[in-house]
Amino acid sequence: MTYHGRFAPSPTGKLHFGSLVAAVGSWLCARHAGGQWLVRMEDIDPPREVAGAAADILATLPAFGLIADAPPLYQSQRMAAYDTAFEQLREADLLFPCTCSRSQLATSGGIHRDGQCVTAGEPDRSPAWRLRVPDVEVAFDDALLGPQRENLRETVGDFVIRRADGHYSYQLACVVDDAFQGITDVVRGQDLLESTARQIWLQRCLELPTPTYRHLPLVLDGEGNKLSKSTHALPVDPCEPTPTLRRALAFLHQPLPSSVTGVEELLAHALADFDPALMPHCSGSSVT
């Protein structure tokens, strides 16, 4: 099967350095494998989105030499596929409606378990739909971090597939689209490691294939916090991509040419000796 990798940003702000590292890491792995590199715009959460961010991210990637092999897939245009997956789960009796509030779930650490709602359904409130999660341990090998295992009942319980506001969850959309795009290898930041067991479990429920996962260390700021759009990390500057791309490659432990070159040469230089196993795997790396 041909390697298919992807970069899947959410348009909650402009591309920042942490996201650039994930984009470059996934691009290098895909190109090294002679595979396809795809971009998916995860625009299914309008309350969190920033107007213009999707277009901005898509215009910024090529400035860093990151050219996708197909037009971007927009999750906002994939509702019919999520509806189908939702019905498949519902017909298999794997979903239930739930109107439990956060405060009602506080006594169980915010976790909903065993399909047992704290409240009887409230007819005038629209429910969220949760997946019935059994007492199951999901194990997988992360290509960078090694063996991982998680008991989903303990850690997340019955997780939300469709929110009360009608929006599908990231977990469902991600799993449906990774399968739709034929993704064989997911390379992304370690902040998403905690989603992986849920995604693998959903793949099993929907009879979809499980890709290989490789979670890259997060870029931290000077205070040890993850760079993120929500903490207003500075966007990368597409007008001056070379120094930033050098920093991204250095963060990924890739060799840099000593001469001053453009982004294409920098990427080609990194690719020439690229070994995915040599990318860093310890969490907490920081870059100034």
Which residues of this protein are in contact with ligand GLU, per CB under 6 A?
A: 8-10, 42, 174, 188, 192
In the bound state with ligand GLU, the residue whose beta carbon lies nearer, of 52 and 262, is: 52
In the bound state with ligand GLU, the residue whose beta carbon lies nearer, of 9 and 65, is: 9
Rounded to whole angstroms, the Cα distance separating 56 from 52 reads: 6
Q: How far is the CB of 42 from ligand GLU (least distance, A)?
A: 4
In the bound state with ligand GLU, the residue whose beta carbon lies nearer, of 98 and 150, is: 150
Cβ atoms of residues 49 and 16 within 8 Å: no
In the bound state with ligand GLU, the residue whose beta carbon lies nearer, of 57 and 249, is: 57
Tokens 């215009």 belong to residue: 59
Spatial CA neighbour of 175 closest among 138, 206, 214, 154: 206
In the bound state with ligand GLU, the residue whose beta carbon lies nearer, of 8 and 252, is: 8
Q: How far is the CB of 192 from ligand GLU (least distance, A)?
A: 5
In the bound state with ligand GLU, the residue whose beta carbon lies nearer, of 100 and 187, is: 187
In the bound state with ligand GLU, the residue whose beta carbon lies nearer, of 118 and 206, is: 206
Spatial CA neighbour of 37 closest among 14, 8, 57, 12: 8
In the bound state with ligand GLU, the residue whose beta carbon lies nearer, of 57 and 245, is: 57
Task: Give the count of beta carbons closer than 10 Å to the beta carbon of residue 191.
Answer: 15
Rounded to whole angstroms, the Cα distance separating 164 from 104 reads: 16
H or E element that contains 25: helix 17-32
Q: How far is the CB of 175 from ligand GLU (least distance, A)?
A: 9
Could you tell me the two tokens for 79? 């509702």
Q: How far is the CB of 10 from ligand GLU (least distance, A)?
A: 4
Rounded to whole angstroms, the Cα distance separating 97 from 211 reads: 29
Q: How far is the CB of 158 from ligand GLU (least distance, A)?
A: 21
Rounded to whole angstroms, the Cα distance separating 223 from 86 reads: 41
Task: Give the count of beta carbons closer than 10 Å to the beta carbon of residue 273.
Answer: 10
Q: How far is the CB of 19 from ligand GLU (least distance, A)?
A: 7
Rounded to whole angstroms, the Cα distance separating 145 from 282 reads: 8
* Strand partners for 48: none
Q: How far is the CB of 196 from ligand GLU (least distance, A)?
A: 9
Spatial CA neighbour of 212 closest among 173, 176, 183: 183
Rounded to whole angstroms, the Cα distance separating 61 from 37 reads: 12
What secondary structure letter does DSSP report for 204?
Answer: H
Q: How far is the CB of 219 from ligand GLU (least distance, A)?
A: 13
